[in-house]
Structure formats: structure tokens, C-alpha cells
Amino acid sequence: MNMPKVNIKNINGELLTDEERAIFNIVIKKNNSIRASKPKVKDDLTGKSAYVWRMVCFFVSPKGPHQCMPCTATFDLPAYDENGKWCSSIARAMEKELDTLVDKITAGIDKREWHGVRRWGRALGY
């Protein structure tokens, strides 16, 4: 089962920040397809990349397990307060920023490849 490919022309039309470009390069392979597995979380950048990968896969992956609700996707985010404690309000703010990149990536994928969206649409009666 092949992962969908991103039309890079659609992404290059969007201005990506340096951080977004770095995350994009972790989530998307050199052949422009989405990675088949979540990036290993080693630092802040890979933690954010894991979140973006999970959300993109929820929408477009043809693999059933990727289409399950991503309830724990935020757990990989480096959302720590000044005391080093993980903070859900910081994670929510970070999610909003990263969801912009998720939208840019999914916009670069042919809608016929939005497998998760179609599956959930059928499940919800659309």
C-alpha cells in the first residue's frame, strides 16, 4: 500500500517558514510521498514532525490504523512550561500553529488520495 504523494508545486506556492520547511523535510520523503511510519521523537523538531505526520496521515493515509482518531498526537509535542512540566495549554497553542502546516501539506495531495477523510465521511453518513 503506497502512501500518497504531495504535489510539491502546490507546497512551493505556499510560503513555508524555516521551521515548517524542516518539519516538511522530515514528514515527506525525497520521492514526495509521506513517510509510512512516524518519525522517532528525539528533540523538539522531531516531536513537532511526529504531530504533523500523525495529523496528515489521519486525513490521507490508505492504512486503516493511521485513520484512527489521533487522540494522543499531542503527546509528542515539546509543550513544557518554565518548570519543565508538560502543559496542555501550551500544546494546544502549538497544535494551532502546526495545523497550518498540516493544511498546507494536505492541500498538496490530490483529493482522490484523501483516504481517511473518505472513510470518516462514510462513517458519519456523508
The predicted model gives 18-30 an average pLDDT of 94
Cα gap 79→85, rounded to integer Å: 8
Are the C-beta atoms of residues 55 and 38 closer than 8 Å to each other? Answer: no
Are the C-beta atoms of residues 29 and 23 closer than 8 Å to each other? Answer: no
Global pTM value: 0.91
pLDDT in tens, 27-78: 999 999 999 999 999 999 999 999 999 999 999 999 999 999 889 899 999 9
Parent domain of 53: 8-123
The predicted model gives 94-122 an average pLDDT of 92
Cα gap 40→50, rounded to integer Å: 7
Cα gap 58→50, rounded to integer Å: 12
- Total domains in the fold of the chain: 1
Residue 3 domain flag: no
Residue 1 domain flag: no
